[in-house]
Amino acid sequence: MSKKRIGIIGAGPSGLAQLRAFESARKKGEEIPEIVCFEKQSNWGGMWNYSWRTGVGKYGEPIHGSMYKYLWSNGPKECLEFSDYSFDEHFEKPISSYPPRPVLFDYIQGRIKRDNVRDYIRFDTTARWVSFDEKTKKFTLVLDDLKNDKTYSEEFDYLVVASGHFSTPNMPYFKGIENFPGNVIHAHDFRGADQFKDQELLLIGSSYSAEDIGVQCHKHGAKSVTLSYRTNPIGVKWPDGIEEMPLVTHFEEDIAHFKDGRTKRFDAVIMCTGYQHKFPFLPDEMRLKTKNNLYPDNLYKGIFFNDLPQLIYLGMQDQYYTFNMFDTQAWLARDYMLGKFELPDKRTRRGDINVWLQRNESLKDGHDHVDFQSDYIRDIIKLSDYPDFNIDKVAEMFKEWLNDKEENILTYRDKTYRSVVTGTMAAEHHTEWMDEMDDSKERYLFEPEEEESDDVK
């Protein structure tokens, strides 16, 4: 009998978790199926693989990346640590709790560089279209080899969609914005604060992007930052130079009018208005349709598409937990594909989904969200052999992090946390975050030498 074939779309943290899950089974002596992972970029790492480009890439594909220069982890690294590959193992010394992007990118790569994971990935290859044959129960995947400008197709028994969901902007319209004389961009195209130095900035939105881009622009010298919220303000204590205002109603040239009747002049507008789950390679009946949400509908255990469980989605939830959540999902998905984890019937699955959806409806604040996602991880981690980690402690850290941010949005990244994987306490970074303008790995890992004493002993 020929080997089963597994197709994975995307080599970001979720797709890489899937590859690592299979590698871990292979190392334990299990026979694994034939696996091919398709990645439209030239390298792995998804969002963490920074691109200076905006718009389209060198082959004319929409740019995936939404990360920017000077991006530092927006939560403690102890909350995302792989439980089978610790920060200690990778860096061989304690590091701080909030590393910059290049350092986390390095960590993600460390775990997979030791395996032959790269061999499974076809880079510069875009998944263009998927169809499913009810008779053969196989997927046909149409692929574009971007480098050689060739289109071809291959068949798979299982399809893992790990294409991310923070890439296609949600770009609302505000009356008069077409006549705004300055820059109007979406957070997806923000590549760093430098160009906004000395400017009066308007950021629309009140979630992670607004908070982080606002604080970064303040740190790097914007004249003022105004955050405009639709539903709730972020509500932390803002320093002088950052303020929150209600939603913009319309623009007149460079003047924004707000719901409370106030007006203000701006040099640039950044829409921090979130992203769309977009799967242009999937037909209607296989497409996950959801907003950014802690429990997207139609996914059993947050993973298996209920109408067709051979179709697997990873990392489609809104995220408190990230890398360790993708791992728990990927390990369970692997066991299903290996025939070691059996799914109940469709009705039972639906019932399980409904319970989570109902609870999701009742969540009130960040602490509830953390408890919800922690319980979700508890629910799935027990179903595979992914190494257990202290979820209670991680939930506590998330809640402390939320409090830290409320207390002081400019200094929360100077706090340190203890690893639940190794017990190591994070080191303090050599420079306070507000004074640290260099986000390179070299600068981050550099250890200032002890100052030599002039005292004669």
Instruction: Decide: is 362 part of the binding site for ligand NA7 (CB under 6 A).
Output: no
Residue from 126, 199, 317, 384 binding ligand FAD (CB under 6 A): 126
Instruction: Decide: is 364 part of the binding site for ligand NA7 (CB under 6 A).
Output: no
Each as own residue / partner, the long-range contacts of residues 106-113 (CB below 8 Å, 24 or more positions apart, any chain) are 106/441, 108/13, 108/16, 108/45, 108/48, 108/323, 109/44, 109/45, 110/85, 111/20, 111/82, 111/84, 111/85, 112/16, 112/19, 112/20, 112/23, 112/44
**CB of 74 vs ligand NA7, minimal distance in Å:** 6
**CB of 272 vs ligand FAD, minimal distance in Å:** 10
Residue from 83, 170, 360, 431 binding ligand NA7 (CB under 6 A): 170
Q: What single DSSP character describes residue 28?
A: T
Instruction: Decide: is 76 part of the binding site for ligand FAD (CB under 6 A).
Output: no
Instruction: Decide: is 112 part of the binding site for ligand FAD (CB under 6 A).
Output: no
CB-nearer residue toward ligand NA7: 160 or 272? 272
Strands (DSSP E) contained in 134-233 are 138-145, 150-156, 158-161, 168-169, 183-186, 200-204, 224-229
Q: Which two tokens stand for residue 272?
A: 């921090």
Q: Which does 420 bind (CB under 5 to 8 A by kind): ligand FAD, ligand NA7, none?
A: none
Parallel/antiparallel/unpaired status of strands 121-122 and 299-300: unpaired
By rule CB under 6 A, what string of x and - marks binding of each residue 62-81 to ligand NA7? ------------x-------
**CB of 166 vs ligand FAD, minimal distance in Å:** 4
Burial of 373 (0-12, 13-18, 19+ CB in 10 A): buried
Which parts of 38-57 interact with ligand FAD (CB under 6 A)? 38-41, 46-48
* Positive or negative: CA dihedral 317, 321, 327, 333: negative
Q: Which does 9 bind (CB under 5 to 8 A by kind): ligand NA7, ligand FAD, none?
A: ligand FAD
Query: 3-state DSSP call for residue 256?
Result: strand
By rule CB under 6 A, what string of x and - marks binding of each residue 275-314 to ligand NA7? -----------------x----------------------
Which parts of 241-270 interact with ligand NA7 (CB under 6 A)? 247
Q: Which two tokens stand for residue 233?
A: 């303000």
**CB of 315 vs ligand FAD, minimal distance in Å:** 3
CB-nearer residue toward ligand FAD: 126 or 226? 126
Strands (DSSP E) contained in 230-303 are 242-246, 248-252, 255-258, 263-265, 268-271, 275-276, 299-300
**Which positions touch ligand NA7 (CB under 6 A)?**
74, 166, 170, 172, 187, 204-210, 230-231, 247, 272-274, 292, 319
